[in-house]
């Protein structure tokens, strides 16, 4: 195992070679899922005026405080109407949710706590002065940094920017990621499979993983085990921000990728990590282009992406949060010992009264792609672990996905 890097050291080398991409300006709806390229500073306040938080009657809170319960209704204010005339002492404004408060009142009595009586309204229960009013600027004040640079722009962020009247947003450019599978044995969907051939799945899992991480995948197809074809396709791939090749990074006689990359000026930073699956991972760079060579086995390729490529893609976009969330969970089954490498086990998580537990998703071979389909986490068993009974606790990195059971909402 000489020369193999632990996970942390490999990640550090990858991130040290990663430089954020340039920024661009896009329309607000186009910014969904993108990364803020600069701080967004508010030039307005939200709400823009004091307004009612519910349907009811706007009154002077000081009158309520001294025990007044009957008010003369002098005006009705629907949402969208501004009334500039003050509501006099002892008077009330019938008001709808979202309508601006007129001068002279500062409290809204919910309609269900009132009883109309001709031209008056009676308050049936005590209401705290200032209640049920959304104050001007209580959400956002002028000068607030509402979206910091490096934040992901999700639905809430897009809505907040819309509430401020923002039409365009400066975002990080999406990294272009060239995806190239290697091996004469590979066949794309839609073509017949001959003897000894298998389907190319790595290009499609990489496509999905790149998209999920905010990148723009560029599918270059399959490089057959022939030096000139490999050189042509790798040269095209190197025009992108990131290159992902699958297969061709082991020590086989027909594995040309490393040789071709070196001929094209790729500087090798490391080759081999102490993980199972995923040992023959290669990483290098040519200028600012990051070059990853992931193993050909589909699970090893996906795990390698999760550990090393996904953080790099997020860092290229200037994201401040680049790692998956994780929990510490107890194994619900005995865990066998490992040797020189950290073992990454695909697992399902459950949460009980005593915290998180996990079970593996069946056979854990690096070619069993269904183990990833069934997984919602990756459990890390340390190198040299001597083995133990159920109940031992391990780090589990979460994967995206929904679950059928309803959360235990409080």
pLDDT attached to residue 252: 54
pLDDT, one tens digit per residue, over 78-91 is: 999 999 999 998 99
Question: For residue 253, is pLDDT > 80?
Answer: no
Instruction: State the pLDDT at residue 69.
Output: 97
Percent of the chain with pLDDT over 90: 88
Domain count, the chain: 4
pLDDT confidence band for 294 (50 / 70 / 90)? very high
Please tell me the predicted confidence (pLDDT) of residue 74: 97
- Predicted local confidence at residue 88, as pLDDT: 92
Q: Is 79 left (phi over 0), alpha (psi -120 to 50) or beta?
A: beta
Task: Decide if pLDDT at 254 tops 60.
Answer: no
Question: How much is the pLDDT for 251?
Answer: 57
Q: Is 73 helix (H, G, I), strand (E, B) or coil?
A: strand
At residue 348, φ and ψ (nearest 5 deg) are -110, 135
Say which residue, 251 or 383, is predicted with more confidence.
383
Q: Using one digit for the tens of pLDDT, what is the confidence trace for 314-359?
A: 999 999 999 999 999 999 999 987 888 999 999 999 988 889 999 9
Q: Is residue 406 part of a domain?
A: no
Higher local confidence (pLDDT), 76 or 257: 76
Residues 291 and 222 both lie in one domain: yes
The pLDDT value given to residue 226: 87
Decide if 408 is inside a domain: no
Q: What is the CATH number of the domain that holds 55?
A: 2.170.190.11
Give the pLDDT confidence score for residue 331 in this predicted structure. Answer: 97
**Residue 404 domain-assigned (yes or no):** no
Structure confidence at residue 353 (pLDDT): 86
Residue 376 has pLDDT above 80, yes or no: yes
In percent, the amount of the chain with pLDDT more than 70 equals 98
Confidence (pLDDT) at 249? 65
| Structural domain boundaries enclosing 365 | 326-398
pTM for the model = 0.91
* Pair (247, 228) in one structural domain: yes
Q: Which of 77, 109, 134 finishes a domain?
A: 134
- 234 and 302, same structural domain? yes
Domain presence at residue 407 = no
Q: DSSP string covering 213-231, please? A: TT-EEEEEEEE-S-HHHHH
Answer yes or no: are the C-beta atoms of 377 and 349 closer than 8 Å.
yes
Span 21-69, pLDDT tens digits: 999 999 999 999 999 999 999 999 999 999 999 999 999 999 999 999 9
Kindly report, residue by residue over 218-240, the tens digit of the pLDDT.
Answer: 999 999 888 899 999 999 999 99
- 252 and 310 assigned to the same domain: yes
CA 165 – CA 163 distance, rounded (Å) = 6
Rounded to an integer, the average pLDDT of 150-170 is: 97
- Residues 103, 209: one domain? no
For all residues of the chain together, what is the average pLDDT? 94
Extended beta strands in 211-354, E state: 216-223, 242-246, 267-271, 275-276, 282-286, 289-294, 326-331, 342-352
User: Do residues 30 and 97 share a domain?
Assistant: no
Sign of CA dihedral 328, 333, 334, 335: negative
Is residue 299 a part of any domain in this protein? yes
Q: Which H helix or E strand runs over 397? A: strand 393-398
For residue 381, what pLDDT is reported?
A: 96
CATH number for the domain spanning 334: value is 2.40.340.10
Rounded to an integer, the average pLDDT of 113-124 is 97
- For residue 2, the model assigns a pLDDT of 59
Return the closest-CA partner of residue 310 out of 15, 6, 30, 7. 15
Indicate whether 16 pLDDT > 90: yes
In this prediction, residue 402 carries a pLDDT of 73
**Residue ranges of the alpha helices (H) in 97-186?**
155-163
Give tens-digit pLDDT for 265-290. Answer: 999 999 999 999 999 999 999 999 99
Q: How confident is the model at residue 15 (pLDDT cuts 50, 70, 90)?
A: very high
Q: Choose between 213 and 248: higher pLDDT.
A: 213
Phi then psi for residue 307, to 5 deg, are -80, -35
Please give the structure tokens belonging to residue 15.
């991130």
């Amino acid at each position: 195992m000489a020369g193999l890097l632990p996970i942390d050291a490999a990640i550090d080398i990858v991130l040290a070679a990663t430089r954020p991409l340039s920024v661009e300006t896009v329309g607000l709806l186009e910014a969904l899922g993108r990364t803020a390229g600069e701080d967004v500073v508010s030039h307005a306040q939200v709400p823009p005026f004091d307004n009612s938080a519910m349907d009811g009657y706007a009154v002077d809170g000081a009158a309520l405080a001294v025990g007044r319960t009957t008010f003369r209704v002098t005006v009705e204010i629907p949402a969208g109407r501004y009334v500039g005339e003050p509501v006099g002492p002892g008077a009330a404004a019938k008001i709808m949710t979202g309508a601006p408060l007129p001068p002279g009142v500062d409290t809204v009595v919910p309609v269900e706590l009132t009883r109309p009586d001709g031209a008056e309204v009676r308050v049936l229960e005590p209401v705290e002065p200032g209640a049920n009013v959304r104050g001007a600027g209580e959400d956002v004040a002028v000068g607030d940094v509402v979206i910091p640079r490096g934040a992901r722009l999700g639905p809430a962020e897009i809505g907040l920017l819309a509430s401020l009247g923002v039409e365009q947003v400066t975002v990080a450019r999406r990294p272009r990621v060239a995806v190239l599978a290697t091996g004469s044995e590979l066949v794309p969907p839609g073509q017949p499979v001959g003897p000894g051939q298998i389907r190319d799945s790595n290009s499609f899992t990489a496509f999905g993983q790149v998209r999920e991480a905010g990148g723009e995948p560029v599918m270059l197809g399959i490089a057959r085990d022939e030096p000139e074809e490999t050189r042509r396709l790798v040269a095209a791939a190197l025009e992108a921000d990131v290159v992902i090749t699958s297969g061709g990074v082991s020590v086989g006689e027909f594995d040309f990728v490393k040789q071709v990359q070196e001929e094209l000026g790729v500087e090798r930073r490391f080759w081999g990590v102490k993980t199972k699956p995923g040992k023959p991972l290669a990483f290098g760079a040519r200028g600012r282009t990051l070059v990853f060579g992931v193993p050909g086995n589909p699970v090893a390729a996906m795990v390698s992406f999760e550990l090393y490529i996904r953080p790099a893609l997020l860092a290229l976009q200037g994201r401040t949060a680049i790692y998956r969330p994780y929990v510490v969970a107890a194994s619900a089954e005995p865990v066998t010992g490992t040797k020189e490498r950290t073992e990454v086990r695909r697992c399902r998580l459950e949460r009980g009264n005593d915290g998180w537990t996990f079970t593996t998703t069946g056979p854990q071979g690096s070619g069993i792609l269904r183990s990833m389909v069934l997984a919602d986490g990756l459990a890390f068993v340390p190198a040299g672990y001597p083995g133990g009974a159920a109940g031992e606790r391990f780090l589990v990195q979460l994967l995206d996905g929904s679950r059928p059971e309803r959360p235990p909402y409080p």
